[in-house]
A = this chain, B = another copy of it.
Amino acid sequence: MSSAESTWFTENFDHSGSSIGFRIKQQLHAEKTPFQTIEIYETTDWGNLMVIDGCMMVTGRDNFLYHEMMSHPALFTHPRAKRVVIIGGGDCGTLREVLKHEEVESAIQVEIDERVTRLAERYFPELCESNNDPRAQLLFVDGIKWMAECEPETLDLIIVDSTDPVGPAEGLFGEAFYVSCMKALRTGGILVQQSESPLIHLTLIKAMRNSMKAAGFHAVRTLPFPQPAYPTGWWSCTMARKNADLSSFRERGAATKQFVTRYYNVDTHRAALALPEFMKEALGD
């Protein structure tokens, strides 16, 4: 099939003047939920594609990069994360990665829009294969409110796996939310959040890091990784830790992990801690 006769779903990123597209076979689903518009496409080469409010969220082919990097670096930095909360993450891919860790006793996914999860179950069943794990709990409520009301010092790891900081996710990038996270975490607890592209969102990354520190987090680190479906194909997560630094990578644990990953290993974990020169300068790391 040549490009002339094929159909493409293209997302234009107005903010960065760049775009990414995938060739599609057909639209499988489209609906407007109380929170957002969700579309599902079948692509020719990238498996199924979920689009929320026009923004690509997940493809079957490259989501492993994002989901593994949102979970394993934090879980192998914490000495023993027993109680984990995922804010957002409705496609359940992060939940699946978290539950690969035996030390996790409870993983709560707090997604505002139940339809994201229901559609993931149907169109991305591989991401949902751990949804029935007895340690998993799926809540469909507002993550900001849930975190504000969370019992203090009860969590070891908070993973913020949200859409971009516009619309329902905007509040997840502000100091008030980080103050709630600080309160909810036990000593040594970690917050990790998707933090957009190192190349075009450096201002946002700096603001996030400053807000995390203002909320009382002791140490902050930003980890870049590849992610073809997101603007520039280069993405990041930012980790923040309560009452401890972030140098405690359990390399032995990662090297002897008893589960399969496709991107993550000891080497890529270390590699993600390396910052390019322009990021070092901008972030003062």
Contacts of A21 in B (CB 8 A): 10, 12, 18-21
Contacts of A226 in B (CB 8 A): 198-199, 224, 226, 232-234
Q: Which of A193-212 contact B (CB under 8 A)?
A: 198-199
Contacts of A263 in B (CB 8 A): 276-278
With A17-B43, A20-B233, A263-B277 already in contact, 14 other A-B pairs whose C-beta atoms are closer than 8 Å? A6-B12, A18-B21, A18-B228, A20-B21, A226-B232, A226-B234, A228-B232, A233-B234, A261-B277, A262-B276, A263-B276, A267-B274, A271-B271, A271-B274
Contacts of A228 in B (CB 8 A): 18, 199, 232-234
CB contact between A277 and one of B1, B233, B265 (< 8 Å): that residue:
B265
Q: Which of A8-36 contact B (CB under 8 A)?
A: 8, 10, 12, 14, 16-23
Name A residues whose Cβ lies closer than 8 Å to a Cβ of B: 1-3, 6, 8, 10, 12, 14, 16-23, 43-46, 61-62, 198-199, 224, 226-228, 232-234, 260-265, 267-268, 270-278, 280
Of listed A198, A263, A276, residue having the most chain B CB within 10 A: A276
In order of increasing CB-CB distance, the 7 nearest A-B pairs are A233-B233, A17-B45, A267-B274, A271-B271, A3-B12, A19-B21, A271-B274
Contacts of A233 in B (CB 8 A): 20, 226-228, 232-234
A242 to chain B, nearest CB (A): 26
26 contacts between A and B (CB under 8 A): A2-B14, A3-B14, A3-B19, A10-B10, A10-B21, A12-B21, A17-B22, A17-B23, A17-B46, A18-B20, A18-B21, A18-B22, A20-B20, A20-B21, A61-B199, A226-B232, A227-B233, A228-B233, A228-B234, A233-B233, A233-B234, A265-B276, A265-B277, A265-B280, A267-B275, A270-B271
